[in-house]
Amino acid sequence: MGEVVGCGLIAHVPTVMLPLEIRQELNNGQDFSVVEGFRRLKREVLSKLDYDLVIVFDSHWFTTVEFVITGHAHRSGRFTSDELPRGMSQVPYQLRGDPEFAKAAAANGRKHGTWLTMIDDPCLPIHYATVNPLTYLQGDREAWVSVSCCQTAETEDFLRVGRALRETIASLDRRIVLLASGAMSHKFWPLQKLREHEAAGVEHIFSPAHSAADLERLEWLKAGEHARLLQTMPEFLRFKPEANFGHYLMMAAAMGEEEFTAPGRLFSDYENAIGTGQVHVWFDRPREGWNARRRAAE
């Protein structure tokens, strides 16, 4: 039987791919904490864990009529972002996939009342919510797969995908890391004001209300109060969380939803990125609630 050995809400913000001197220029001579946060996460957590599969909930991969999970045996190439080609250009990537897991997850999607399709087309684009964390966190042996955020999905749809993945994890012999790759509130400054708000300080978040909503939920995450966040999603959606917070919702559902009580450890400050709220929060191996749910699935 499989298990999740740890999971995290991580910032994939494009800033992390810029040279140090440019990052310091944007941030009043200081680096953004999410950069060292990635390095610390690799050094202090992932390098000490035994895992063979990383699942990325990719908040930059928007599908329309279904969710998609990558089913390639291998992927490699160079990535240039169509959104930000000046900052993310010709980034090399090479990763092993897990077609068996992807196929099983897709089969479980319909059982949980949703549409989850495995795609192994070699021309399928890759997105920087996968590439940027991969660049910092990839190890030597593990497989990586990505799951899209369906842009027509609502909260319940994301939860159903997470439930399908939870069943898949329980049924296959994998030790898994889950990465919810995306921001919290995600409202950008208009172009004419944007360059006044490129530094990391919280005062540059789009509005005090947006930062307050993020910081409140960050305290809940630190305390392991995932149920509280899930129960208040209608309120949080007013602050435009990235991808309707689908990346986090799928991860939380894969962890047991209200039974997910693992407290979060910060691996960065809560930072601005041109109006949006960015942070790395890591949740160590889940406590008894997830294990009990897994035994029930068995």
Q: What are the residues whose beta carbons fall under 8 Å from the beta carbon of 113, sequence distance 6 or more?
A: 160
> Distance between CA 52 and CA 142 in Å, rounded?
4
pTM, to two decimals: 0.96
Superfamily of domain 3-297: LigB-like (3.40.830.10)
> What pLDDT does residue 1 have?
85
Residue 88: the pLDDT is 97
User: What phi, psi does 134 have (nearest 5°)?
Assistant: -55, -40
Provide the pLDDT for residue 295. 44
- pLDDT at res. 285: 82
Query: What is the structure's pLDDT at 286?
Result: 63
The secondary structure element, H or E, covering residue 7 is strand 3-10
Q: Which of 261, 186, 179 lies closest to 6 in space, CA to CA?
A: 179
pLDDT digit string (tens) for the chain, length 298 residues: 899 999 999 999 999 999 999 999 999 999 999 999 999 999 999 999 999 999 999 999 999 999 999 999 999 999 999 999 999 999 999 999 999 999 999 999 999 999 999 999 999 999 999 999 999 999 999 999 999 999 999 999 999 999 999 999 999 999 999 999 999 999 999 999 999 999 999 999 999 999 999 999 999 999 999 999 999 999 999 999 999 999 999 999 999 999 999 999 999 999 999 999 999 999 998 655 444 344 444 4
In 3-state terms, what secondary structure has residue 175?
Answer: strand
Return the closest-CA partner of residue 274 out of 214, 209, 185: 185
- CB atoms near residue 192 (< 10 Å): 7
